[in-house]
Structure 1
Amino acid sequence: MATAINSDLWRTSGAAAAATAPPDRLPPGRLLAFSAVALPVAAAQMPLNVYLPAIFAQHYGVPLAVLGTIFLIEKIWGAIADPIIGTLSDRTRSRFGRRRIWIAAGGAVFGLSALLLFFPLWGVTPLYLGLVLFAFYLGWSMIQIPFLAWSGEISHDYNERTRVATYQLVVGSAALLLVLVLPTLVDQVRPGDGPLKLGVMGGLLLVTLVPSLVLTLRAFPEPPLPEAPAQRLPFGKAVRLVASNRLLMRILASDFAVTLGQNIRGTLFVFFVSAYMGLPHWASGLFLLQFIFGISAGPIWMKIGYRLGKHRAAVAGELVQVAINLGLLFVMPGQLGLLVALTVAQGFAQGSGNLMLRSMVADVADAHRLATGEDRTALFYSVFSISMKAAMAAAVGIALPLVAWLGFDPASPSNSPDALKGLLLVFALGPALAHLASAVLVHGFPLDAAAHARIRASLDQRDTTPNPIQA
């Protein structure tokens, strides 16, 4: 029955959706305020992945093997925490709502653990680092997963959800830009001062945390709670529920491929610019340039999504990424002009797929609620978060061993031409193939604007119709 309902909805014509009156647009000021918490959350991403391991190894004496083990365990813990938090948030019923209370509590855990992580006044031991990271990832999940679910609930409109995700993408990109700039400035004033660099990044996170939490929690009211909380799901049943949702699995697989391509490029970027191009002094600047243009990319792709629809815009963005990465094959050592042009283009295309796919998760959650009566929005977003984290880990696990197998040695002052050619091929073809896979996976996605308009109409009608049993 549910399959028949959804099939009918997906066959709805575009004219039917166009006949639906457009909703009131969410106020830009409130959207910006709601997106504020993305700043400290995104600002934590770059230090954890790039700076913290090196600083703890060089300045606090934590062995590299121990660091690798601790960060691996904590990433696994973060992936486990996401669906737990998502399920609990979906089931929460309180007078403060079911998203706001988790975000506020997560902010307290996140802030306290960030203070201990970025300002280790009593030194850093493996036990200390493991416990602090445990709390840090827990607080991060408590903020991020309910926030993403709430993002899909403040508007039920197909295009407005893209707009909500766009504001968050821009705020998150701005945070990453700040985190890239600050360590660069520290290196100019106090070269090699790891603790100062750590404190500056942690200071940005802590200074922005409380104001951003206040802005986010006050920006919009939470939607009314469902008449009944979502049924409690054992872990195995939750896995089967997610795996059986073909639309969600397509989005997850597509997002995994997007993030894999982005992180293969990010992992090898410094090696490529320094070793292959022979321009080590340009590595940080080009990486920064990409992020600067990436901030302006969100609104551009939002407009494209309005015109083409989310899945078509995602396909277009991924194909642009394929072309840009294939263009890198024609870059010769020392040829800065073409590399700058491709880096700028990469910035404009950056996040196109992530933006559309994130918005599509809420649409799939609506289809699931219509078919089953269960609201699993936060659970779906938590699994979406796992796919991103898994892809980030896979990128490092694929790219670095592969270029090493091809003969590239980052510590060598002069790699062979064959080794450098291998680095170029992985740097260019790896992301190109990943972005192509992402486009193929989401091509022809059936839940378009027309189908979603019918789903929302059915949900709104059901939500406003009195239950005859209760009556």
Structure 2
Amino acid sequence: MATVIPIHSPLPAPAEPARARPAEQPARLSGWRLAAFSSFAVPVAAAQMPVGVYLPAIYAQHYGIPLATLGLLFLAERLWGAAADPVIGILSDRTRSRFGRRRPWIAAGGLLFGLSAIALFFPGDAVSAWSLGLTLFVFYLGWSMMQIPYLAWSGEISGQYHERTRIATYGTVAGSSALLLVLILPTIADQLRPGDGPLKLAAMGTVVLVTLAIALVLTLRAFPEAPAPATAPRPVPFAEALRVILRDRLLLRVMGSDFAVTFGQLVRSTLFVFFVSSYMGLQHWASGLFLLQFVFGIAAGPIWMKVALKFGKHRTAVLGEGLQVAINLGLLLVTPSAFPLLIALTVAQGLAQGSGNLMLRAIVADVADQHRLDTGVDRTALFFSVFSLTTKAGMAAAVGVALPLVAWLGFNPQGHNTPEALTGLLLVFALGPAIAHAVSAWLIHGFPIDEARHAEIRRALHARDAAPSSPAE
């Protein structure tokens, strides 16, 4: 048994690894390789918008599936996808093969995801609730099999503190670009053949399938996988895995902060069209303003990356969330006659958008390093699966809170609204995200793993990995 290195004791200088685990990647990763690796975010993000926004309406209008049935199907499949995430994370951490721990899962998940996407976006005429339910089951299984190992791999490409910020930034920009594309496609389809739901599905499905085929090749060849620990983590029951997560205070802080920032973003997104259409009385501007926000959101990724390289990830997250609070509070000053102010706040929202998500995603890998130092067990994929779970929970909670709340305040999306009802809509639209972003900043403020502390963690891990014997994992 190797000597255990106390967390806060003086740490030895880095030693040349004698065995399994390789030296760190070069200090600065190739931008071309990062772009290739991050291309995988394109098909995943390109599928996210259609599945969440367009598919239910098109399947109801064009294929006659009742709304209540669709609601139950999509709810059940989202719950299934959320439940699959930690299972896939645990299995990926335990996988040992000559292709690595992450590649086999990504390749197999990509196959399932692609086949089910064909059935989902090109359904033909014989569509039933049963066939849709089965397709969604396979679709979300493939999604989890791809995404969780991919996120874990993204945290393992480099052990360098700032390089992890670059990796997360490349993925965020790629995903935002894909979302922008699938926001534009339905608009173009409506101009060509108004009301043609199957055309919209086919256009978006084509983007998903083509980018998936390209991204799988690029991503799987972009970087080598680091060798896995010699011994796989032992199988643990669900209850024990839950205890591992609940005992890791750093992970809980990141999860809570991510839940809050996602909740705030989705409250705003859920009510955006209602706010512009009903409160501002500008229905024809709703889609355009939403698109404007996304355009500036893409440009914001590299800006926040440079800020993080100078000030660190958790400080940058706090700064970004603070700006979000100020921007959303500024919405309280918007009146139906103050359209220029709304445009300015929408641009500012786009520039601040994603700052918290980006930094928190990069921090998860640092937390996994600290956990491996403390316990001797590598649970990177499990930690990323839990991070994914809180994101999905935040999205679901935002819709579940925002819509009933504005309805309780008297807002009616289909009829006349009193001034009091419109004021209630404004308050929820502005204060809901402002409060959520403030909570996110509070949770991540003073986070103990900064660049210096992370360097100590990595030195300790290298020293332990280079020792004559290593603790059983």
- Rounded Cα–Cα distance in structure 2 between residues aligned with 1:444 and 1:394: 27
Q: Per the alignment, in what secondary structure is the counterpart of residue 44 of structure 1?
A: helix
Q: Per the alignment, in what secondary structure is the counterpart of residue 296 of structure 1?
A: helix
Partner of residue 112, structure 1: 115
- Rounded Cα–Cα distance in structure 1 between residues aligned with 2:255 and 2:68: 31
**1:463 and 2:453 equivalent?**
no
Partner of residue 427, structure 2: 425
Q: Per the alignment, in what secondary structure is the counterpart of residue 6 of structure 1?
A: coil
**1:446 and 2:444 equivalent?**
no
What residue ranges of structure 1 are gaps of 5+ in the alignment?
11-20
Partner of residue 204, structure 1: 207
- Rounded Cα–Cα distance in structure 2 between residues aligned with 1:306 and 1:131: 45
**1:342 and 2:345 equivalent?**
yes
Q: Which amino acid aligns with 1:171?
A: A
Q: Is the 8 A contact 1:3 1:371 kept in 2?
A: no
Q: Which amino acid aligns with 2:443?
A: L
- Rounded Cα–Cα distance in structure 1 between residues aligned with 2:428 and 2:10: 42
**1:281 and 2:284 equivalent?**
yes
TM-score of the superposed pair, with normalisation by structure 1? 0.95
- Rounded Cα–Cα distance in structure 2 between residues aligned with 1:469 and 1:259: 38
Q: Is the 8 A contact 1:279 1:334 kept in 2?
A: no
Equivalent residue runs for 1:85-100 within 5 Å: 85-100=88-103
CA shift, 1:465, in A, is 2.0
Q: Is the 8 A contact 2:116 2:139 kept in 1?
A: yes
Equivalent residue runs for 1:149-228 within 5 Å: 149-228=152-231
**1:387 and 2:394 equivalent?**
no
Partner of residue 26, structure 1: 29
Q: How many residues align?
A: 458
Q: Is the 8 A contact 1:91 1:98 kept in 2?
A: yes
Structure 2 vs 1, CA of residues 26 and 420 (structure 1 numbering), >3 Å: closer, same or farther? same
**1:293 and 2:287 equivalent?**
no
What residue ranges of structure 2 are gaps of 5+ in the alignment?
12-23
CA shift, 1:4, in A, is 9.0
- Rounded Cα–Cα distance in structure 1 between residues aligned with 2:331 and 2:344: 10
Partner of residue 313, structure 1: 316
CA shift, 1:122, in A, is 3.4
CA shift, 1:6, in A, is 3.1
Q: Is the 8 A contact 2:314 2:445 kept in 1?
A: yes
Structure 2 vs 1, CA of residues 384 and 407 (structure 1 numbering), >3 Å: closer, same or farther? same
The C-alpha deviation readout for 1:365-416, integer Å capped at 9, x for no partner, is: 000101111000000000000000011000100000000000001111x211
- Rounded Cα–Cα distance in structure 1 between residues aligned with 2:9 and 2:47: 44
Counterpart pick for 1:354 among 350, 353, 357:
357
Q: Is the 8 A contact 2:46 2:178 kept in 1?
A: yes
The 10-residue stretch of structure 1 (306-315 or 105-114) with the greater mean CA deviation from structure 2: 306-315
TM-score of the superposed pair, with normalisation by structure 2? 0.95
Structure 2 vs 1, CA of residues 52 and 125 (structure 1 numbering), >3 Å: closer, same or farther? same
CA shift, 1:5, in A, is 2.9
CA shift, 1:187, in A, is 1.1
- Rounded Cα–Cα distance in structure 2 between residues aligned with 1:242 and 1:48: 30
CA shift, 1:227, in A, is 1.2
- Rounded Cα–Cα distance in structure 2 between residues aligned with 1:468 and 1:196: 58
Partner of residue 16, structure 1: none
**1:251 and 2:254 equivalent?**
yes
**1:103 and 2:106 equivalent?**
yes
Runs of 4+ in 1 over 6 A off after TM superposition: none
Q: Per the alignment, in what secondary structure is the counterpart of residue 392 of structure 1?
A: helix
Q: Which amino acid aligns with 2:98?
A: R
Partner of residue 18, structure 1: none
Q: Per the alignment, in what secondary structure is the counterpart of residue 5 of structure 1?
A: coil
The C-alpha deviation readout for 1:305-324, integer Å capped at 9, x for no partner, is: 11111111100000000000
- Rounded Cα–Cα distance in structure 1 between residues aligned with 2:86 and 2:279: 41
Q: Is the 8 A contact 1:317 1:353 kept in 2?
A: yes
- Rounded Cα–Cα distance in structure 1 between residues aligned with 2:188 and 2:272: 20
Partner of residue 59, structure 1: 62
CA shift, 1:188, in A, is 1.2
- Rounded Cα–Cα distance in structure 2 between residues aligned with 1:300 and 1:469: 42
Q: Which amino acid aligns with 1:6?
A: I
CA shift, 1:464, in A, is 1.8
- Rounded Cα–Cα distance in structure 2 between residues aligned with 1:432 and 1:256: 14
Structure 2 vs 1, CA of residues 417 and 9 (structure 1 numbering), >3 Å: closer, same or farther? farther
Q: Per the alignment, in what secondary structure is the counterpart of residue 202 of structure 2?
A: helix
Equivalent residue runs for 1:360-399 within 5 Å: 360-399=363-402
Counterpart pick for 1:264 among 261, 267, 275:
267
Structure 2 vs 1, CA of residues 149 and 469 (structure 1 numbering), >3 Å: closer, same or farther? closer
- Rounded Cα–Cα distance in structure 2 between residues aligned with 1:49 and 1:163: 28
Partner of residue 135, structure 1: 138
Q: Which amino acid aligns with 1:136?
A: F
The C-alpha deviation readout for 1:104-127, integer Å capped at 9, x for no partner, is: 000000000000001111332111
CA shift, 1:278, in A, is 0.5
Q: Is the 8 A contact 2:411 2:421 kept in 1?
A: yes
Q: Is the 8 A contact 1:9 1:451 kept in 2?
A: no
Q: Is the 8 A contact 2:376 2:471 kept in 1?
A: no
Aligned-pair RMSD on alpha carbons? Answer: 1.7
CA shift, 1:24, in A, is 2.2
- Rounded Cα–Cα distance in structure 1 between residues aligned with 2:104 and 2:94: 12
Q: Is the 8 A contact 2:293 2:347 kept in 1?
A: yes
